Amino acid sequence: MRALVVRGRDEVPAVEEVRLPAPGPGELRIRIRAAGLCHSDLAMVNGTLAPAYPLVLGHEATGVVAEAGPGTRLTVGTPVVLNWAPACRDCWHCRHDEPWLCAANSAASVARGETAAGEPTHVTLGLGALAEEVVVPERAAVPVPAGLPPAPAALLGCAVLTGTGAVRNTARVAAGESVAVIGLGGVGLAVLTAARRAGATPIIAVDVVDSKRELALAAGATEFLRSDDNLSREVRGRTGGRGVDHAFECVGGSATIRAAWRATRRGGAVTVVGMGGRDDVFSLSASEIFHSARTLRSSVYGSTDPDREVPELAAALAAGDLDLTPLVSGTVSLAEAPAALDRLARGEGARWVVTFPD
């Protein structure tokens, strides 16, 4: 089968033929229908997340069960959304209702399959979903209703779940509270959509790229600001001089975390959704922490339980209550994926989605 493979840090991904093992006990073979291109895939290419190579990219996808191993409950033909952080349900975090922090989900890559030449390959976050097929544990496949449009459905397992969960579970945004969202990729736009559904106002979208303005307004922002040194002053001017109740950082960088911190009112909360590098250090003085009374926290996978929340989002999508149109910048073939990743790295669009023929 064909898959998008990167062979080393900062190398250009290419489509290659790879071989996967047959599904074993408790495993499924999934035929992929659509897979999103995420900034986390870029972090695999540039080595930020320190994966092993050669690596099959992709972790955000929807597909159909094509083969079921022994002892599985899902049957052939079942539509699913993939979960890149399936909970073991047995570790300390899982037993204390924190499945998003499951101890079994810390690896950036997992060894699985081989190249056409017999070289061992690894898959991104246990999935490697930018491929015609994947073999995964059954707990990594969440059943969803049949008939969902493939491109937006693919985003339910990462961008939409992460952004929605950050608003609903981590920050617990209430109606009437003010929100700023810094970084308008797929996750940032999903945060805007969730903030609108929560009844937040105003909802201030922030990015360095002016072309994100229309996307942001379509997703739920009430206004758009260009990220620059005047950002905190501009935000305070729109929030009675205070700053926002909630700032969401969706980039994963010390500079944007600092910008979110400065845009937040005293007593407000900063939620870091973006995943950054180990050497990019953010610091605060002890005095600043005390006097600002702000809360700084991260939102890992939206503080969600995908087994429960993906079906809820899928039902909302099926019913027309969840509009993900602004998040899908376009669909491409697997052969076009490297060029789409390059566009993503340049800040063009939100989510480019690779689709596969039925």
Same domain, 340 and 221: no
Is the pLDDT score of 311 beyond 90? yes
164, part of any domain: no
pLDDT-derived band at 277, boundaries 50, 70, 90: confident
CB 94 within 8 A of CB 88: yes
Per-residue pLDDT reduced to its tens digit, 143-159: 999 999 999 999 999 99
Percentage of the chain exceeding pLDDT 90: 91
Q: Which of 254, 282, 298 is the last residue in one of the domains?
A: 298
Residue-level pLDDT at 300: 95
Same domain, 182 and 253: yes
Question: For the chain, how many structural domains are there in total?
Answer: 2
Hunting for tokens 């620059």 — which residue is that?
228
Same domain, 275 and 325: no
- What is the 3 state secondary structure string of the chain? CEEEEECCCCCCCEEEEEECCCCCCCEEEEEEEEEEECHHHHHHHCCCCCCCCCEECCCCEEEEEEEECCCCCCCCCCEEEECCCCCCCCCHHHHCCCHHHCCCCCCCEEEEEEECCCCEEEEECCCCCCECEEEEEHHHEEECCCCCCHHHHHHHHCHHHHHHHHHHHHCCCCCCCCEEEECCCHHHHHHHHHHHHHCCCCEEEEECCCCHHHHHHHHCCCEEEECCCCHHHHHHHCCCCCCEEEEEECCCCHHHHHHHHHHEEEEEEEEECCCCCCCCCCCCCHHHHHHHCCEEEECHHHHCCHHHHHHHHHHHHHHCCCCCHHHEEEEECHHHHHHHHHHHHCCCCCEEEEECCC
Residue-level pLDDT at 130: 98
Half-sphere exposure of 6 (CA within 13 A, CB side): 26
Residue-level pLDDT at 54: 96
Per-residue pLDDT reduced to its tens digit, 258-272: 999 999 999 999 999
163, part of any domain: no
Same domain, 134 and 90: yes
Same domain, 202 and 286: yes
78, part of any domain: yes
Instruction: State the average pLDDT for the chain.
Output: 95
Percentage of the chain exceeding pLDDT 70: 100
Domain extent for 214 = 172-298
162, part of any domain: no
pLDDT-derived band at 61, boundaries 50, 70, 90: very high
253, part of any domain: yes
Crossing angle of helices 212-219 and 186-198, in 10° steps, is 30
| Domain of residue 180, CATH code | 3.40.50.720
Nearest to 110 by CA among 86, 144, 80: 86
pLDDT-derived band at 355, boundaries 50, 70, 90: very high
Hunting for tokens 């998008």 — which residue is that?
4
Residue-level pLDDT at 5: 97
Is the pLDDT score of 80 beyond 90? yes
167, part of any domain: no
Q: Span 25-50, mean pLDDT?
A: 93
Q: Which of 281, 298, 315 is the last residue in one of the domains?
A: 298
Same domain, 224 and 283: yes
Per-residue pLDDT reduced to its tens digit, 184-230: 999 999 999 999 999 999 999 999 999 899 999 999 999 999 999 99
Same domain, 18 and 76: yes
Same domain, 81 and 197: no
Same domain, 202 and 179: yes
Same domain, 30 and 144: yes
| Domain of residue 45, CATH code | 3.90.180.10
166, part of any domain: no
Is the pLDDT score of 177 beyond 90? yes
Q: Span 75-100, mean pLDDT?
A: 96
Residue-level pLDDT at 14: 96
CA 74, CA 156: separation in Å to the nearest integer? 19
Same domain, 11 and 139: yes
Is the pLDDT score of 106 beyond 90? no
Q: Which of 279, 298, 317 is the last residue in one of the domains?
A: 298
Residue-level pLDDT at 350: 86
Same domain, 83 and 59: yes
259, part of any domain: yes
CA 88, CA 93: separation in Å to the nearest integer? 10
Contacts of 328 (CB under 8 A, 6+ apart): 151, 152, 155, 350, 351, 353
Q: Of 178-182, 229-233, 345-349, which gets the smallest average pLDDT?
A: 345-349
pLDDT-derived band at 232, boundaries 50, 70, 90: very high
Is the pLDDT score of 317 beyond 90? yes
